[in-house]
Amino acid sequence: MIEKLNVSGLSCPQPVFETRKKMKEMGEGVLEVRVDSGTSLDNITRMAVNEGWKVEVKEEQKEYILILSKLQDG
Amino acid sequence: MYFASRKGITLVGLFFGVVAAILQRVGNPPNMGICIACFERDIAGALGLHRAGAVQYIRPEIIGFVLGSLAAALIFKEFKARTGSAPIVRFILGFFAMTGALVFLGCPWRALLRLAGGDGNAILGLLGLIAGVWIGVLFIKSGYNLGRNRKTNTAVGWVMPAMMVGLLLLLLFRPQLPTVAVFFSATGPGALHAPILVSLLAAVAIGFLAQRTRFCTMGAIRDVILIRDIHLLCGVFGLLVGAAVTNILFNQFHPGFQGQPIAHTEHLWNFGGMVLAGLAFALAGGCPGRQLFLSGEGDGDAAVFVIGMIAGAAFAHNFAAASTPAGTGEWGPASVIMGLVVCLGIGFTMRQKA
């Protein structure tokens, strides 16, 4: 199952903090995060990579969808 | 993307430190190559909002920070008008952030520059800053949140840049109405400044790079405590090292506690002032520099924080809360305590489900 999180419009550090909290809860799997600022995009990407998750980014009308994934065998 | 890399932000921080030390060399006040709090305070004075004659000047650095960030945001398509995340609370946070900073005599940028110039009193300020940010992190962990902003009319995002252009015009043309309209210090720190064009160009470059790297002195501390990330801290260390090395080369490094320029030695209030400032910055999500850069990319809430800081500076001087090299003002300590009570109240009461 793909979990979803929308952190658009939140001030620092909420976007990265909420995403990290969710990742810790999940442990592994696929998390789709909607963000609306380049700062949050950079911050979440950096944090997720540091935590060993894979990051894919899609751009949608000035917003970004980050697909964070960590799979048992990956 | 290079700017988002650790090497990128470290080099950018290094550049900021070198530029700040050079600005001191070419005219800015000692250990004050860049100080967002001091410079916004000088602008408040130039506009006559306070009448402390020694600290009145329209600082081109503040103008350049916003316009440089605006340029970067436009070029990289990150300019986005947004507002509506508790603006009045952000005004109050800006107000008390300034109160605390003027008791210490500097924002986090100047705390680093003071340390890079050998001013030991800055250590107390930096420890206070860390303590304040740490308190802010406790609030964030327990659910503190000012709520989401919303996209708004593009013109809203242009208000702050337009105000900066207005300030630049006042600086260049110095209009004289029947009574004096804009005040410029004849003596004191306000009279010390680099040539306008040098300050402006340096600040535009800094604003541009800070927008790209998301440089933030408060975030540097917060991220270490909250998510164990040293990325922004690398930028801050860069700034410190860049300024210190440049200061040594220019013979601007004078270690000690006594007789430091535009500083006092009341350790408790150097610490306490920055606890307040650090807490206010943490609750608002950015250091005073970062708030300027955000306001340049269209963040109306950050712009309100900046205006809160300018208002706070006027009050701090009018109500004898700002420190001088002789020590804290008559109402300085009381103002810090009042600010802490208000900020703690904000931290305890402002919680929203994300």
Q: For chain A, give every domain's residue range.
A: 2-70
Look at the block and give the residue holding tokens 């520059």. B113
Catalytic residue among A12, A49, A57, A71: A12
Sequence-ordered list of residues with C-beta below 8 angstroms from that of A17, at least 6 positions apart, any chain: B140, B226, B227
User: Are B354 and A14 in contact (CB < 8 Å)?
Assistant: yes
Q: Write the CA distances from B90 to B41, B95, B106, B149, B343, integer angstroms.
A: 18, 8, 20, 12, 11
Q: Which residue of A has its CA nearest to B284?
A: A11
Query: Which chain B residues have a beta carbon less than 8 Å from that of A60?
Result: none
Q: Are B44 and B314 within 8 A, CB to CB?
A: yes
Residue of A20, A39, A45, A66 to mutate when probing chain B, most B C-beta within 10 A: A39
Per DSSP, B117 falls in state T
Chain Cα centroid distance, residue A38: 13
Q: Which residues of B225-249 are buried (b: 16+ CB within 10 A; e: fewer)?
A: bbbebebbbbbbbbbbbbbbbbbee
With a cut of 60, say whether residue B225 has pLDDT above it.
yes
Q: Which pLDDT band, with edges at 50, 70 and 90, does B354 fall under? A: very low
State residue A69 phi and psi, 5-degree precision: -140, 140
For residue B353, the model assigns a pLDDT of 57
Mean pLDDT of chain A: 93
The tens place of each residue's pLDDT in chain A, 74 residues long, gives 899 999 999 999 999 999 999 999 999 999 999 999 999 999 999 999 999 999 999 998 889 999 999 987 64
Q: Which residues of B250-287 are buried (b: 16+ CB within 10 A; e: fewer)?
A: eebbeeebeebbbbbbbbebbbbbbbbbbbbbbbbbbb
Mean pLDDT of chain B: 96
- The residues pairing with A59 across neighbouring beta strands, listed in sequence order, are A64
Chain A closest-CA separation from residue B216 CA (Å)? 11
Q: Which pLDDT band, with edges at 50, 70 and 90, does B352 fall under? A: low
Per DSSP, B29 falls in state P
A46 touches chain B (CB under 8 A): yes
For residue A73, the model assigns a pLDDT of 60
| Residue B311, H or E segment | helix B300-318
Task: Let me know if domain A2-70 sits in CATH 3.40.710.10.
Answer: no
Instruction: Report if residue B187 sits inside a domain.
Output: yes
| Residue range of the domain that includes B311 | 2-349
Tokens for A65, please give them: 């969808």
Q: What is the pLDDT of residues B65-85, one digit of tens each?
A: 999 999 999 999 999 999 999
Instruction: Report if residue B354 sits inside a domain.
Output: no
Higher-pLDDT residue of B135, B178: B135
CA separation for the pair B284, B86 (Å, rounded): 10
For residue B166, the model assigns a pLDDT of 98
Q: What is the pLDDT of residues A15-34, one digit of tens each?
A: 999 999 999 999 999 999 99
**Amino acid identity for residue B193 in this structure:** H
- pLDDT > 90: what percent of chain B? 95
Is residue A60 part of the annotated active site? The answer reads no
Q: Comparing C-alpha atoms, which of B295, B203, B274, B220 is closest to residue B16? A: B203
Q: How many domains, in total, are found in chain B? A: 1
Chain Cα centroid distance, residue B346: 21
CA separation for the pair A35, A57 (Å, rounded): 10
Q: What angle do CA B332, B91, B180 make, to 5 degrees?
A: 75
User: Are B227 and A20 in contact (CB < 8 Å)?
Assistant: yes
CA separation for the pair B167, B50 (Å, rounded): 16
User: Are B227 and A38 in contact (CB < 8 Å)?
Assistant: no
Residue of B149, B217, B225, B301 to mutate when probing chain A, most A C-beta within 10 A: B149
